[in-house]
Copies of this chain bind each other. A is one copy, B any other.
Amino acid sequence: MPRPRARDLGIRIGWLRTGPNNAITDVPGVRVGHTTLIRGEGRLVRGVGPVRTGVTAVIPHDGPLYGVAVPGTVHRINGFGEVANALQVEELGVIEGPIMIGSTLNVPLIENAVITYLAERFPAMGVTSWGISPVIAETSDAWLNDMIGRHTRDEHVAAAIDQAAGGPVAEGAVGGGTGMTCFEFKGGIGTASRVISHDLAGVELTRPYTLGVLVQSNFGMRWQLRVDGVPVGEALERWNLRDEGLRGWRPDGLRDPKSSIIIVVATDAPMDQRQLTRLAVRAGAGLARTGSVHGHGSGDFVIAFSNGHVLPGIPANPERPVAFDVLPENGPLVDVFFQATVEATEEAILNSMFRAETMTGRDGHTAHAIPIEETVAIMRRFGHDAVHLPGG
């Protein structure tokens, strides 16, 4: 039986409606593909394994992967990490090509693989015109994986792009999330979405919009974890200790500070970079609600884009001003998007944990899946009566 998503347990974050798959792919045109690499067991041998890694592709639009761009932003919450080509995104306001997420030290190989992939398919690239500056993000799987071995090859990157599809998205220990841990449980890929329809915003929309989030989660200490506000992490560690008095915080809790999260926010609402950056800030608020304090060693980045406009790519040479409708920013509509971003981010993180299976990696390191039964019990103990076991 597959592990449940948050909603399967009756955990509903916030007030807004989800899209049909409660996934980033609910945003029309957005596709997700994973390549998962699991190979070997036992003791770490650099360059050999064990391998617990992978790569995830988020395709932002259904146009060609070269010569087309969408408004986008890379927002740094805590910059202990790398998002390749973020400075160009900041300057030009757009994201080109696929967005890739993988393992920290694999970023160069993934970026090089994307260049190869596109150069083979788009001969004009890099000769008669500029190259391409794809956005590559990462979190560290060093605890389970032979990270320094850098096992992601060109074909793995190509496969993630080629297999990218709409519809339901695999979550947990898949793709870039394969070797990740979150709140000292198994983490990885998670996703969620919200619908902004006209009756909610108080303004007449020409059509409903969708906002979707995908995360690669790899951060946090167990005692920090909150599930819809309930101190689940602390309860799991020291049940019944909560109200026994003021305790000092124990630094031995800092067991794995080499952690990070990548949050991808997508929407089909027409937004420009400045507006998307405002969304990205709210993704940080959703992250904070799960208990994160954006730890020092955490690379917490948000990549946000809108495919409400598909623009000519950077090498193109349009001859006239480009029509660009922007969301009205004065009314309550913007606040609904902010609320949606907070909700979807929080829920995507929970999904990345609930859906992940226990995994043993290099040197026998084991990342346990968060226990469903105990979590449900704690939630109910803290008054969330609607939470229940799957099928319960």
Contact = CB atoms under 8 A, between A and B. Distances in A.
Interface of A: 10, 12, 14-17, 44, 46, 74, 76-88, 90-93, 104-105, 107-112, 115, 119, 125-127, 130-131, 133, 140, 142, 147-148, 150, 199-206, 223, 226, 228-231, 242-243, 246-252, 254, 257-258, 270, 272-274, 278, 281-282, 284-289, 292-297, 299, 301, 312-332, 334-336, 338-339, 341-342, 381-386
B108 A126 contact: no
Given A12-B246, A293-B341, 19 more contacts: A17-B248, A76-B91, A81-B133, A82-B87, A82-B133, A105-B115, A108-B110, A108-B115, A131-B148, A203-B317, A281-B294, A293-B342, A295-B335, A296-B329, A296-B332, A314-B330, A322-B327, A382-B383, A383-B383
A125 B147 CA distance: 10
B251 A338 contact: no
28 contacts: A15-B223, A16-B248, A46-B119, A76-B91, A79-B90, A81-B88, A82-B88, A91-B278, A92-B329, A107-B111, A108-B109, A109-B112, A125-B148, A130-B258, A131-B148, A200-B250, A206-B321, A243-B386, A249-B339, A285-B287, A293-B339, A318-B328, A318-B331, A319-B328, A321-B325, A323-B325, A324-B325, A383-B383
A85 B87 contact: no
Contacts of A205: 320
A51 B83 CA distance: 29
A254 B317 CA distance: 13
Contacts of A297: 130
Those 7 A-B pairs whose CB atoms lie nearest each other, nearest first = A79-B91, A229-B229, A243-B386, A382-B383, A285-B288, A15-B249, A108-B112
A326 to B, nearest CB: 5
Given A79-B87, A148-B125, A248 B321 contact: no
Contacts of A79: 87-88, 90-92
A341 to B, nearest CB: 8
Nearest to A342: B293
B328 A312 contact: yes
A25 to B, nearest CB: 20
Contact of A326 (B125, B150, B292, B321): B321
Nearest to A106: B112
Contacts of A317: 203, 328, 330-331
Contacts of A108: 84, 107-112, 115
A118 B377 CA distance: 48
A31 B98 CA distance: 38
Contact of A318 (B125, B321, B330): B330
A87 B88 contact: no
Nearest to A319: B203
B127 A148 contact: yes
A306 to B, nearest CB: 12
A279 to B, nearest CB: 11
Nearest to A104: B131
Nearest to A90: B79
